[in-house]
Chains A and B, each alone.
Chain A
Amino acid sequence: GAVVSQHPSRVICKSGTSVKIECRSLDFQATTMFWYRQFPKKSLMLMATSNEGSKATYEQGVEKDKFLINHASLTLSTLTVTSAHPEDSSFYICSATARGGGALNEQYFGPGTRLTVT
């Protein structure tokens, strides 16, 4: 099946620094990737949708200057948390949809990245 990886799986950073999280589709081309944030014992909150080669579309209330998303290729999207603060600590999950074919309606999720800002 389609596999999506995320790197790193865990990261601890100091307040004020920036952190980059990578999301890769390993065996398929992902026309669209999504970034979610999951708070403890809560559901997933969609942050943004990114299409390869174009600017990401952010959900209402998500600061685009704080959460920079780049989808430079059909297999890689990155989320950069700039000037991180403790309230940015969370579990970040990406997902991807495949180009064409029977899997058109299905999202494949990465394993998530736990960010802790101290």
Chain B
Amino acid sequence: GNSVTQMEGPVTLSEEAFLTINCTYTATGYPSLFWYVQYPGEGLQLLLKATKADDKGSNKGFEATYRKETTSFHLEKGSVQVSDSAVYFCALMGTGGFKTIFGAGTRLFVKA
């Protein structure tokens, strides 16, 4: 079945550091891939998405590229801010249905 594996956290960075959160997936066909962010005490917000191979999703300085050859969708940001502290979830939605599979989440702490 479909699955998502993302790097375990927590990840602690200083402000303006470069961020990478790894995400790999297993799926049949051509799933859509997503990154969601959850700020403390809040629900999930869609951060970015990519629906086909080689697509790059981007939002708020975050980027992720859909790599079918490596089945990866790593999240990157060139310069993190304290306000980026949150839990980040990688997710996929398989073809033929709307069920979304989430990774375990990676907690990011950014220090001033």
Contact = CB atoms under 8 A, between A and B. Distances in A.
B25 interface: no
B43 A112 contact: yes
Interface residues of B, number: 19
Contacts of B58: none
Contact residue range for chain A?
A: 20 to 34
Given A42-B104, A49-B99, A97-B98, A109 B45 contact: yes
A42 B32 contact: no
Interface of B is mostly: strand
A19 B78 CA distance: 44
A105 B44 contact: no
Interface of A is mostly: strand
Nearest to B90: A43
A44 B102 contact: yes
22 contacts: A32-B98, A34-B100, A41-B105, A41-B107, A42-B104, A43-B89, A43-B105, A46-B99, A46-B100, A49-B99, A95-B44, A105-B32, A105-B49, A105-B98, A106-B46, A106-B49, A107-B100, A109-B43, A109-B46, A110-B43, A111-B43, A112-B42
Interface of B: 32, 36, 42-46, 49, 51, 89, 93, 98-100, 102-105, 107
Interface of A: 6, 32, 34, 41-44, 46, 49, 93, 95, 97, 105-112
